[in-house]
Every structure is written in C-alpha cells, then in structure tokens.
Structure 1
C-alpha cells in the first residue's frame, strides 16, 4: 500500500511514493521503468559526474559491456558503458527498472527529478535510444484476459498492424497463470505491453496471489527517434499526460461492435473511456530504493546461509572456529571492495 505526498512546486509534476498505504483516489501510478541514453564522447568521467552526479569512486569497473561497448562502470543496476578509442558509440547510460528505482534515491538526495536528469542528458548531447514508462493499475479498469478476447473479436482499433500474447495455466486444475498482450512488434520503435503484474510478482517472489490483490501493468516502450521525441515532449510540458495519452489513446482504442455502422465508427467502450480519462490525470511518480546490491544479499541468504549455519553449529559442538576463520581469511575482489564501500556509505556520500 502507498502513501502519496504532494511534492513541492519545484518537483514539476513528480510525486514521491512511500510504501505504506495505497491511496484509493490514485489507482494509477506511473514511473520511468527503463532508460538507455548515449553520448558521442569518450569522457566517461564527465558523464558519470555531470549527468548521473555520482562519484566514480563508488562504481566498480569491469572490462566488458553490451551492445559493442568494451567496458562498464556500475553501481549495482546503474550502469555506464564506454567504447574503445575511435569507436563512435561513445558512452552509454543504462538504467533497468531496478536501476531507475535506485537512481531515484540519488535524485531525491539532490532534490532533483527525472526532468532534471533529462535536461542534463540533453545539455550534454545525449541521445535517448530507449525509454520505458510503466503504469501500475491497482483498480484494474479491465481484465487483461477479457481484453484479449475483445481484441480477438476485432473490437480493438489500432494503428499497430500486429499483436501478440502469451499466458500459462496449471495442468492440474486449469488455473490461469497470468496473461500478457503485446500491441505492435517488439522490433518496432514503439509498442505496448499489458500484463497481469500480480501473477508475475507472485511467481517471482513465491507470494500467494491473494496477498497482492488486483494489479495490472501497462508498459509503454519507445526506442530510437520515438524515445528521443518523447523526452523532448516531456521537457516542454513537464507533464506525463501528453506522452501517455498520445501513445495509448492514439495507438489503441477498444470499441463495442455495432452491426449498424462501419467498424471505424464503433463507439469507444465505456471502460476504455474511463481508463483513458484517468490516464490523463497521471503524474510521474518516484519510488526511490536505497538498498543497493540487495541481489547479492539475497543470494547469500538463500544459497549460503544454511551451509554457514551448519558449519557454525559444528564449530560450537567441536569447539572450533572454522566459520569465523574462513570469513577472516577471505580476500575481497575489487568489485566486492567497491560493494563494501557502497554498503557503508550514505547516498549523500556518493553524489557529486
């Protein structure tokens, strides 16, 4: 559940979400969910310190990268890749969904918003090659499986030519395991993904479905020129409404079949009108996550803690100190040393 706090005027439409009680009056929340932005420079230090505003001292370096980049500086899910000298790829910032949540802690510490980050990127010649926005719907204006049936009956008017879907069910009792609909091609510069987030989270974290309640997720995924144009539009309006309405409403519309008129004149379904109307009231939300390298902690807990407990119990019985000796004698890698520095630092210590 979430408690929404109204931001100061300087936040320009960005609201901080705190994990407490979900406000019923705000059934829709939207967040930046994925970013890739490239810079035609090899000055990786400048990008880290003047765009991310993070001290490079806290970032671990590894001699590999993706998309043709040869190296990466990373602070958990916040990644900065660099190319070889002479390679015009330059420098790339990549923030996954978790990376976005972690980066919001740095933005919050500096009393900045995503719009400030976008401005820093554009000011430094950044070119956005991917931008994902996620809308979480706890009201569930519609059932995704029913939406799929409606689309399969031809009651979806769209500028996209293609749609795809997937789902699962239990062979034991026929219980469904969540449905996902893709509007458009995954290879195109714009496509939408609607899915049942509660099923995905229940399976991922082994949580009973009823504990999560109703929860749909609508993702707007933009690439290349579409993502660059979207960021520039956001910077002009400081308002998520423009991009959310443009992408969803202009690309997809659900209607009710009427044999008395041609398909293009079928009336918009009431549930879709209500949904689009509330999308138009969206703010860009932030949900800062301060916990860094939580994946490593979880791995230690899930994979190693039973073995460590076994050795500890044996040490107690035998009067030995094998476990503590192993820990004291262990040597940290460069990456683990950087992780230790992050663990023992405050977010404010890492910003520049």
Structure 2
C-alpha cells in the first residue's frame, strides 16, 4: 500500500498561479458546489433583491422552468424558478457549480460569506433541498485507484451498503484514465463521489495530464433533511468540520485488516492523516466575475472557423462581407440583456 501512504507531491515544473501556490500551502480546499433552496412564497422580487441581493434588471426572464415551475429569472448559471399563484412549490433558487462561483463574486463585493447567505435563507423560511460540497486535494493523501482496490478487498467500513465505480483507458497504448468511486445511492439523502480531477480536466480541456499535477476531488451531495441539517451546522460552526467528519468519516472509513473482527479494524494511516486535516478546513470562496462563458465558448467553437473563412475570402477579394453581416445583425432581447451584463460592473448588479 505504499501508493496510498506516500503519494507523489510534485507539480512537475508547472508555472504556478497565486491560487495554485495557496493550494500547496493549504492542500485541501473546500467549496460550496451546488445549492437548491425553496421558499413558500410567490414574491420573486423579494427573493431576488433581499436574499440574492441582485438587481433584477440584469436578470433575463424566461416563460418556462424546470421541476414543475412555470417561469425563470436567470443571470447565467444563477437561476430563480417561480410557480403559478396558488402552487405550493413557491420559488426555487438553484446555483450550479458555476453558479456558486458567480454568486461568490456578489458575496465578495458585499463583503459577505456563504454563512450570511445561508442565514438569510433560513430567516426567510428557506428550505434547502440540495447542498453539494467539494474538497479539492492536491496533496493527494491517497490514490483513487488504490482506494478502489482496498474497497474491493473489503477494507472499507461504511454505512452505505453499495458502491459503484468507473474508469477508462486508452486503446492505443493502454494508458489508464481517471477512476471514480461512488459511495451510496444517488437516490439517497447522502452520497459521496471520489474521483481523479486531473484526469477529468485533462480530457475536458485537452491539457497534458502532467501539466495539472496531482489532483483528487471529493464531493459530498446532501438532500432534503441532510442538507438542511448541514446548513444549520455550517451557520453555527462557520467551517466544514461537521460536514467533513460527520458525512465523510461517519459514512466511510478505510482500514487495515488484523486478527480481530472486521468492525474493530483500525483506520489506515493515510485515512487518519486525511481526516485529521479535513477537520481543519474552512469554507473557500473562488469568485468568478465572468458571465455567459457558455455562449462565448459556443461562438468560438462553432462560429469562429466560418467567420475566419469569410474574413480570408474578404481579404482576398477586397470585400467587407463579414463586417457588413455583423453591422447589419439585430440583437435579440436576450442578447441585449447579456451585453448589459458583460459591460456592467459587479457593484452595478448588487442591491
């Protein structure tokens, strides 16, 4: 088990940004990664202006929604779904992972934290139906593939009855891809997912794996009562001690076998070291002030080659077709709203 106890720590010469340097000093970084919170009200203006503290003028309204809601106000990945009058669904605020990063830019400007937001929600009758927390581990206390081997040998004591996993490899050279382990059922109120984030990012952005260094991601997904309890504990403790220890270590523990009964097997050294540091984690904010990246990425990947072709033809033929097309184009209401958001300062969008 040397792979588990002595993982490589080098970043292999990658030029380090400020954030990466901080991760070396604090190798475990935790963050809020997904939120759903419902309110038994139909006062959308109150939720947007007094809970999210956003200027509604910068949000786009859509006459449809998900989860049975009839309409949506959204600012990129920050979404507010509303129901029909008399529908007890009320209002749902949903922040995806990217939505959480974007919302942090507004919290940061207001000099507030997630704890303040949680408190605002609770005080206004909010009920959290989903809370995801993520822990990035660039020290890599353990190897995910080796962790899987331990679990398959029965060296994982867990309150969950089932686990699942997936992995991949390159058919051309047999090189192993990333490994993911799931603990529990996706339908349950508590669910854990451990995976090799460096492999996922390398494949997603076509980056050489060695440029990313070592990087594990541990995700905690809580629903309904578990999410609500976790939120209240976060407000009270203002750190991730409860979440990390009571959710991760309470549900999963990796052990080393001995002559005693399995339930008395002691936690492995690497697991004790990991849990010991998890208990010291504080909530981390990584504000993202860039909005509508998805649209710009679509433009870049889908339209740029065509625009370049027309531009080169213009240059060769001495014409201005591309610039004429751009100048004659009319923006939709949604695109006008997006432009307003692009040009606005964060302070302009906050109330």
Aligned to 1:8: none
Q: TM-score, normalised by structure 2?
A: 0.93
Aligned to 1:299: 298
1:223 pairs with 2:185: no
Contact 1:201 1:207 in 2 (8 A): yes
SS at match of 1:255: strand
Contact 1:35 1:95 in 2 (8 A): yes
SS at match of 1:157: strand
* Distance in 1 (alpha carbons) for counterparts of 2:74 and 2:128: 19
Give the C-alpha shift of residue 308 in structure 1. Answer: 1.1
Is 224-233 or 22-31 further displaced after alignment?
22-31
Number of residue pairs aligned between Structure 1 and Structure 2: 335
Give the C-alpha shift of residue 237 in structure 1. Answer: 1.3
CA separation of 1:160 and 1:43: change in aligned 2, threshold 3 A = same
- Unmatched tracts of structure 1, length 5 or more: 1-16
Aligned to 1:321: 320
CA distances 1:19-41 after superposition (whole Å, capped 9, x unpaired): 35234231100000000000001
Aligned to 1:214: 214
Aligned to 1:167: 167
* Distance in 2 (alpha carbons) for counterparts of 1:24 and 1:332: 46
CA distances 1:310-340 after superposition (whole Å, capped 9, x unpaired): 2122222323221111111111111111100
* Distance in 1 (alpha carbons) for counterparts of 2:211 and 2:169: 20
Aligned to 1:118: 118
Contact 1:18 1:287 in 2 (8 A): no
Aligned to 2:281: 282
SS at match of 1:147: helix
Aligned to 2:344: 345
SS at match of 2:266: coil
CA separation of 1:189 and 1:18: change in aligned 2, threshold 3 A = farther
- Unmatched tracts of structure 2, length 5 or more: 1-16
1:140 pairs with 2:154: no
SS at match of 2:164: strand
* Distance in 2 (alpha carbons) for counterparts of 1:18 and 1:105: 18
SS at match of 1:81: strand
* Distance in 1 (alpha carbons) for counterparts of 2:170 and 2:23: 34
* Distance in 1 (alpha carbons) for counterparts of 2:250 and 2:19: 33
* Distance in 2 (alpha carbons) for counterparts of 1:167 and 1:63: 40
* Distance in 2 (alpha carbons) for counterparts of 1:242 and 1:350: 34
Contact 2:23 2:138 in 1 (8 A): no
Aligned to 2:74: 74
Contact 1:181 1:193 in 2 (8 A): yes
Contact 1:71 1:83 in 2 (8 A): yes
Tell me how large the CA RMSD over aligned residues is.
1.2
* Distance in 1 (alpha carbons) for counterparts of 2:22 and 2:308: 38
Contact 2:23 2:29 in 1 (8 A): no
* Distance in 1 (alpha carbons) for counterparts of 2:95 and 2:18: 21
* Distance in 2 (alpha carbons) for counterparts of 1:205 and 1:185: 29
Aligned to 1:253: 253
Aligned to 1:91: 91
Contact 1:49 1:55 in 2 (8 A): yes
